[in-house]
């Protein structure tokens, strides 16, 4: 069972443009994303109520969307407006319409009861369209359950092992030997730590203190900042969150969207603000891409092992599992109290 | 559960020739099709009763077929005639033999009780081998349940949407805005209509009246004729079936054969008689091929959506569904009264 | 249910070398094979008890293996020795360690209770590393249940049909028309026969008598010798096993290892001793490879037919099935009396 009472990233804002209807699958539900001529976003079940052809193969007509199998036209409430060849419109079940919004470069779809959709619950990210940042983005699909990816993102101790030659090399490591502060926030967890007196970068040995903090929010949104300061700042702040201007300021924003039980779409963007020269973006993006390929390799291998040994799923716990254990509990709690749109047990 | 009491197209006549044994799957049953030296067709279960190797990997020997795994030989009743290394022949279960016949360029296999096989039930098509027609044929496999293809063929209103740029362009459209006459015939439905005062073709604006009529017969055989007449003929006939000689006479013959629950083989041939010049065949065939690729795209998408949302299969009905609803009911009726060869519930 | 009380070939000895950890799957269980610096072999469950990442993606450190997802290190008993970030070691379930040994060029893994692992039960093969023989080896994966391959190897009458143009051509055939002597041996069957007065080879018509004998041992190990003698030897031996020095001496060693219910790994080596010139090896290996491709084709076809007709699995028996019937019974007997490591029903 998925958490429905949630905004899920369905696509990048720039993917849905002009008259293109983008068909995606979220929580095993086919969803068609499109815009009206004025740019207004719409999300509708990507299955015509008539015979279940995908509306994403249809076309936008004014405020409406037309199925291009038999030509039925639906208004923005999902109600049938036109049946070629006639017949009573009320005989056609409405197509489900999903609340949809866009923020920070992403299109967010509410998968629960529409009346519960609250835009205040959209996690706040940095934004691809924030002019203060140089950002670059991509996405990839995992053949794995989304919670394995969430686990991965809740516990960055793996950087020292999975990413020893990529992110570990670039950041100087120490992710598994330092213990971040973990706290509960609304619909998520906050993870913060200082890396003290590490080289600025692989090519610059000048030591700096780096503040690394991220929120991980339901259903799987990762928003991280990484700020470097001159050596001694961590101690001067009593190892709390710094308030001064950093020397460099890097950001990551990522979102994990379940396609189905064992397929997941992973959206990510990386970048920094103008304290660093734009020309560094390509190199950093390359490292991040390589690192995500490493994650994909090990997580998909983990998924396959889980599938081949379903009878032995008692795992062991280590202290670094604290954050992911909390996040899993929080997800279970949110699921336990949700009112579901559908009444089936899946 | 499939309808077994029926002739299914297993292959084109020209596919099974000389000593080649063709292995196909019909209603999830492996069937081997082959000819004796004199051309006589045979259809036998494509699984040796010994250890289930495919007989289609064997060879024809006189009136018999030999399995090339361990060399058992079976006569034309499916009885074992020879066991290399000896042993009692009666210990070998007979291989199931299917009634088989050929007509109109197709090989037809009876999947029900052999004693019920009645050649009069073979649907009558136009025939690839009819010298009066220029015909061209092909086939394709769908990753979809056969009834989705039958639905598609029972309701040609989709031509205006799915095939707007191919068949719709070539025929002038109007498939969704005209209502054909639908009548019940033996083991099928008949669908007839006039297209009045439409251009002869995309390149010839001279208006003509066109009589379009097809039978759709169990299990999924589509036989259509399309005859053009000078303008005014439809009215002169009182919009009934015309009797005079047409200006042009086009035909389509198609057959839908379930391979398994979610795989279907689709055989088709298109053409016309000598009232049209042979050189037009290639262009028309190209349009038909493009159109069938369009059908395959939307029907396989429809199948995927159905598979991903199995709990919500209540569809809505429109007037153009009349023919397919009748056809589905007729198929259910035929199934309900059939005696099945096998007694399992699948 | 698989037979667990058995040594299975997991890999070739030469595959596991230096610091490379080889991940395989045996009886649906992921197993990591690796060597310590001194060459000692180890086999450990290829799933970290922490979060089920494959240890084969980890690295060997001294006597230990480290998971490269979160860095947990396990000693040679499978006990956790180190958790990056700390925490009690006893909270980590031990990884299952498998008894492992190597013999005759193969790495053997015991899949049952470790205390029952008896190296005397490792089937004796000829050995790739036996200096008296010129040998060449390869392997291939089948999309088929392992018992179909075992059946194939227990009954070589199929050589006359499946391999008529390869092995049958090379050996002169007669595999289906002669009846070998079949006897029970410990954990297997022994199959022996004389081929009398057959040409020495396709290019040498001089008749010889050839003694062909093989053991087929649980779980699926095939060890065959083929010795040629001057004409008359078979009769002189009273058709019993010969004791004199043969003119030529060929050997085959093969092993069948279930990966999962419907996937099987097949290891094989072929060769001869120095009575034949080494330069013949390539040609003979080519014939054997072609023959195994023929087996793979028909056995995978047989598997597909079995999968598509699961309700009709009553097979018929022929005299040549004697050996495989005995072998199947023996496997069932071994399974019935085994104590299983796992208690699930799979």
Q: Is the pLDDT of residue B195 over 90?
A: yes
Mean pLDDT across chain C, nearest whole number?
95
Looking at the partner chain, which of A30, A70, A83 has a beta carbon nearest the beta carbon of B308? A30
CA B63, CA A194: separation in Å to the nearest integer?
Answer: 85
Nearest residue, CB atoms, B316 vs list A46, A54, A92: A92
How large a percentage of chain A has pLDDT more than 90?
89
State how far the Cα of C79 lies from the Cα of C98, in Å rounded to an integer: 13
Which residues does chain A have within 8 Å of residue C29's beta carbon, measured at their own beta carbons?
Answer: 308-309
Interface touch A302/C53, C-beta < 8 Å: yes
CB atoms within 10 A of CB C153: 23
Q: What does the alpha-carbon distance between residue C335 and residue C314 come to, in Å, rounded to a whole number?
A: 22
Res C345: pLDDT = 47
Distance (Å, whole) CA B233 – CA A248? 83
Could you tell me the strand order of the sheet in which B248-260 lies?
B133-142, B263-273, B248-260, B221-230, B204-217, B188-201, B181-185
Report the distance separating Cα A326 and Cα A37, nearest Å. 44
Question: Residue A346: is its pLDDT beyond 70?
Answer: no
Distance CA B215, CA A207 (A): 83
pLDDT in tens, B233-250: 999 999 999 999 999 999
Q: Å from B315 to nearest chain A CA?
A: 5
CA C134 to centroid of chain Cα atoms: 19
Q: Which residue of B has its CA nearest to A72?
A: B318
pLDDT tens profile C43-72: 999 999 999 999 999 999 999 999 999 999
pLDDT digits (tens, 9 = 90+) for A68-91: 999 999 999 999 999 999 999 999
**pLDDT at residue C19, as a whole number:** 86
The pair of three-digit structure tokens given for residue A287, joined into one six-digit string: 């490292």
The span from the CA of A31 to the CA of A45, in Å, is: 5
Q: Of C114-128, C149-163, C256-270, where does mean pLDDT reach its minimum?
A: C114-128
pLDDT for A342: 67
Contact A184, C93 (CB under 8 A): no
The answer to whether C233 and C239 are in contact (CB under 8 A) is: no
A177, A308, A316 ranked by CB distance to C30: nearest: A308
B8 forms bridges with which residues in the sheet?
A: B109
**A7-121 has CATH 2.40.10.220 classification:** no
ipTM of the complex: 0.94
Torsion of CA B323, B325, B331, B336, to 10 degrees: -150
CA distance B150 to B220: 6
| Dist. CA C339–CA B54, nearest whole Å | 38
pLDDT digits (tens, 9 = 90+) for C154-202: 999 999 999 999 999 988 889 999 999 999 999 999 999 999 999 988 8
Mean residue pLDDT across chain A: 95
Distance between CA atoms of residues C198 and C210, nearest Å: 8
The two tokens of residue A236 are 């001067």
β-pairing verdict for C7-12 and C106-110: antiparallel
Identify the closest residue of chain A to B152 by CA–CA distance. A69
**What CA–CA distance (Å, rounded) separates A255 from A26?**
13
For residue B317, which residues of chain A lie inside 8 Å, CB to CB?
50, 91
Which parts of B110-232 fold into alpha helices (H)?
Answer: 146-154, 159-162, 167-171
CA distance A58 to chain C (A): 37
Arithmetic mean of pLDDT over chain B: 95
Q: How far apart are the first and last CA of chain C?
A: 5
Work out the pLDDT band at B161, boundaries 50, 70, 90.
Answer: very high
Has residue A157 got a pLDDT over 70?
Answer: yes
Q: What angle do CA C21, C27, C32 make, to 5 degrees?
A: 10
Contact call for C176 and B85, based on CB within 8 A = yes
| % pLDDT > 70, chain B | 99
CA distance A38 to C305: 57
Q: Helices A281-308 & A146-154, crossing angle to 10 degrees?
A: 130
* B54/C309 Cβ within 8 A: no
Q: Inform me whether the pLDDT recorded for A111 exceeds 60.
A: yes
pTM of the model as a whole: 0.94
CA distance C161 to chain B (A): 5
| A297 phi and psi angles, rounded to 5 deg | -60, -50
Q: What is the structure's pLDDT at A345?
A: 46
Yes or no, beta carbons of B298 and A69 under 8 Å apart: yes
User: Contact B96/B79 with Cβ under 8 angstroms?
Assistant: no
Q: Do C52 and A297 touch (CB under 8 A)?
A: no
- Contact (CB, 8 A) for B284 and B272: yes
Query: What are residue A216's phi and psi, to 5 degrees?
Result: -120, 115
Sign, CA torsion A176/A179/A183/A184: positive
pLDDT at B128 over 90: no
In chain C, whose CA is at the least distance from the CA of B72? C318
pLDDT of residue A343: 58
Cβ of C155 and B52 within 8 Å? no
- The average pLDDT across C32-38 equals 95
Neighbours of chain C (3+ CB pairs under 8 A): A, B
Instruction: Identify residues of C whose CB sits under 8 angstroms from chain A CBs.
Output: 25, 28-30, 46-47, 49-54, 57, 67-72, 80, 83-87, 91-93, 260, 342, 344, 346
In C, which residues are within 8 Å of B54 by CB distance? 298, 301-302, 305
CA–CA gap between residue A6 and residue A333 (Å, rounded) = 13
Q: How far is CA B321 from CA B83, B151, B182, in A?
A: 55, 8, 11
pLDDT in tens, C191-232: 999 999 999 888 889 999 999 999 999 999 999 999 999 999
Q: Tell me, what's the pLDDT at C344?
A: 52
Residues of A in contact with B312 (CB under 8 A): 342
Contacts of residue B19, Cβ cutoff 8 Å, sequence gap at least 6: B34, B59, B60
Domain boundaries, chain C: 7-121, 133-335
Rounded CA-CA distance A12/A108 in Å is 9
* pLDDT for the residue numbered B346: 45
The answer to whether the CB of A36 falls within 8 A of the CB of A59 is no
Q: Do C71 and A160 touch (CB under 8 A)?
A: yes
Judged on CB neighbours under 10 Å (0-12, 13-18, 19+), C67 is buried
CATH of A133-335, one of 3.90.380.10, 3.40.50.300, 3.20.20.80, 3.40.1360.10: 3.90.380.10
* Cβ separation B305–A52 shorter than 8 A: yes
DSSP assigned state of A72 = -
Distance CA B178, CA B180 (A): 6
Q: Which tokens go with C185?
A: 């041996």
Distance from CA of C297 to the nearest CA of B (A): 10
Contact A188, A217 (CB under 8 A): yes
Per-residue model confidence (pLDDT) at position C258: 98
How far apart are alpha carbons A137 and A203 in whole angstroms?
25
């Amino acid at each position: 069972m998925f958490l429905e009472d949630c905004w899920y990233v369905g696509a990048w804002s720039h993917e849905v443009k002009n008259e293109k209807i983008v068909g995606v699958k979220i929580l095993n539900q086919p969803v068609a994303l499109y815009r009206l001529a004025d740019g207004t976003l719409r999300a509708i079940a990507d299955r015509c109520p008539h015979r279940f052809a995908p509306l994403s193969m249809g076309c936008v007509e004014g405020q409406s969307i037309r199925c291009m199998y038999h030509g039925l036209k639906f208004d923005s409430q999902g109600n049938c407006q036109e049946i070629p060849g006639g017949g009573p419109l009320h005989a056609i079940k409405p197509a489900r319409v999903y609340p949809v919004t866009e923020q920070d470069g992403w299109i967010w779809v509410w998968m629960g009861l529409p009346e519960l959709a609250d835009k205040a619950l959209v996690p706040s990210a940095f934004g691809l369209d924030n002019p203060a940042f140089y950002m670059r983005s991509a996405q990839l699909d995992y053949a794995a359950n989304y919670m394995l990816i969430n686990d991965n993102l809740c516990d960055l101790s793996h950087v020292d092992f999975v990413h020893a030659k990529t992110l570990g090399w670039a950041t100087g490591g120490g992710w598994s030997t330092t213990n971040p502060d973990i706290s509960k926030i609304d619909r998520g967890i906050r993870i913060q730590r200082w890396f003290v007196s590490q080289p600025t970068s692989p090519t610059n040995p000048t030591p700096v203190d780096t503040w690394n903090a991220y929120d991980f929010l339901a259903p799987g949104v990762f928003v991280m900042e990484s700020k470097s300061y001159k050596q001694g700042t961590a101690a001067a702040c009593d190892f709390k969150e710094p308030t001064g201007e950093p020397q460099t300021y890097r950001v990551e924003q990522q979102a994990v969207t379940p396609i189905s039980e064992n397929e997941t779409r992973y959206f990510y963007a990386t970048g920094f603000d103008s304290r660093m020269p734009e020309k560094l973006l390509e190199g950093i993006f390359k490292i991040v891409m390589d690192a995500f390929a490493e994650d994909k390799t090990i997580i998909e291998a983990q998924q396959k092992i889980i599938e081949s040994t379903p009878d032995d799923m008692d795992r062991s716990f280590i202290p670094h599992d604290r954050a992911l254990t909390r996040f899993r509990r929080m997800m279970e709690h949110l699921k336990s109290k949700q009112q579901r749109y559908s009444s089936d047990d899946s």
